[in-house]
Amino acid sequence: MTETLRRMCWVFPDRESTKALAMWHPFFWDIYEEVAAELGLIWCRHAPDAVTVDGLETGKPQVFHEGEPVTPEDTLFITALYSLPYQAMDIFNQYALYAVLEQLGFYLPFPPGLSPIANDKLATLLYFADAPIPAIPTVRIGTGRDTGKYGYEVALANLTYPAIVKPSGWCGGGGVNLARSSEDIRGLATLAQGGDTALVIQPYLGDGTVDYRVYVIDGRPYPHVLRRTPEAGSPVSNASRGGVMDFPPTPPELVEAAEYYARKLPIPFFCIDFLHDGERFWFSELEPDGVIAPEFDDPARALQRDMIRARFSAYRKGHQRWLASGGALSFNPANLGPVNP
């Protein structure tokens, strides 16, 4: 089949600060663009309002990206939901645009119907409830005007302390706290009340818990994982919170488990995060657009570039299969179809 894909566009809320942009561009955005160019593709990142649709003529919609006509044959959109606090006002715009693009017949490597499952940490764990690696026991509570009535405490009777408390839909280690009593949870819940932020609460696995990110590309685990080790005294291993990154070979146990996750989530690219408490692995969360981080000890960033190249090639192959299948809708995760030909 003739290759027609020309452009990959990330639908990403345009609310980063100048400091964040200065950090994230050299960290991964710029390299995404470079690797895409090596593959003969245009890479771009725009807010939802960059897409305009002329639907005046029934059955013949025209779609424009930054004023340029685009079609399902030449453009794919990355539609993983972003919901950090400063992106909250964009959540509906993201969801609405994802639905419009899907109805227009565009190939979306991460279908909109999966966004709620991926974005909420407990929804993710429930979706993978029969996974070969156990999920971290989790309580989910909503916050709002009646948070101070502590009605959520009915679900905390069997919780052990210390416990990790974090937003149910954020990423990057943001908002993660260690609670040593129910009183700590009360304080954190009332703070979360300010933004109606739902929380998840999990038993703390202990100091030195290491985070392993497995990159699943075209249905197979990449040979190296992103391992994040927390700094002394920190309950969070993310680099944004002082964690140290390295890229060891993917542990055999996680290679074996990846087959289950790929079968359960047959899309071209996603990341699965696991925590290791020193004795065993625990399934932590799903990242459909997880960062492919750089190995700073290699100026050429060969591993990062290879992984990005594999990811984008998987998108291209997925796009080809999508066109060959007639571009069927994919709202139901059970109907996504196999990743590999």
For residue 79, the Cα-to-chain-centroid distance in whole angstroms is 10
Number of H helices, E strands in the chain: 8, 16
Radius of gyration of the chain measured on its C-alpha atoms: 20
Q: What is the pLDDT of residue 232?
A: 81
CA distance 139 to 202: 7
Q: What are the phi and psi torsion angles at 37 (to 5°)? A: -60, -40
CA distance 244 to 234: 12
pLDDT band at 173 (very low <50, low <70, confident <90, very high): confident
CA distance 155 to 147: 14
| 42 contacts: CB under 8 Å, gap ≥ 6 | 6, 7, 8, 36
More confident residue, 191 or 339: 191
Q: What is the pLDDT of residue 240?
A: 67
User: Would you give the DSSP letter of residue 43?
Assistant: E
Identity of the residue numbered 66: E
- The dihedral formed by the CA atoms of 332, 171, 310 and 26, expressed in degrees to the nearest 10: 140
How buried is 209 (Cβ within 10 angstroms: 0-12 exposed, 13-18 middle, 19+ buried)? buried
Range in 44-53, 159-168, 224-233, 298-307 the model is least confident about: 224-233
What token pair was written down for 198? 């739902």
More confident residue, 235 or 111: 111
Strand order in the sheet with 7-11: 42-46, 7-11, 75-78
Q: What is the pLDDT of residue 87?
A: 87
pLDDT band at 2 (very low <50, low <70, confident <90, very high): low
More confident residue, 184 or 340: 184
pLDDT band at 169 (very low <50, low <70, confident <90, very high): confident
- The dihedral formed by the CA atoms of 251, 253, 257 and 258, expressed in degrees to the nearest 10: 10
More confident residue, 132 or 337: 132
CA distance 311 to 303: 12
Range in 25-34, 136-145, 190-199, 232-241 the model is least confident about: 232-241
Per-residue pLDDT tens over the stretch 251-265: 999 999 999 999 999
CA distance 274 to 282: 5
Per-residue pLDDT tens over the stretch 294-315: 998 999 999 999 999 999 999 9
pLDDT band at 326 (very low <50, low <70, confident <90, very high): confident
The tally of CA atoms less than 13 A away on the side-chain side of residue 51 is 31
Instruction: Count other C-beta atoms under 10 Å from residue 340's C-beta.
Output: 11
Residue written as token pair 């000890």: 297
Mean pLDDT, range 126-154, rounded to an integer: 93
User: Would you give the DSSP letter of residue 181?
Assistant: S
Residue written as token pair 């302390």: 161
CA distance 202 to 185: 11
Q: What is the pLDDT of residue 329?
A: 52
More confident residue, 282 or 16: 282
Q: What is the pLDDT of residue 337?
A: 42
What token pair was written down for 315? 């998108």
Q: What is the pLDDT of residue 339?
A: 40
Q: Which of 269, 271, 264 minimizes the C-alpha distance to 319?
A: 269
Per-residue pLDDT tens over the stretch 199-250: 999 999 999 899 999 999 999 999 999 999 988 877 777 766 667 899 999 9
Q: What is the pLDDT of residue 224?
A: 97
CA distance 198 to 193: 8
| 300 contacts: CB under 8 Å, gap ≥ 6 | none
User: Is-contact 1 320, C-beta < 8 A?
Assistant: yes
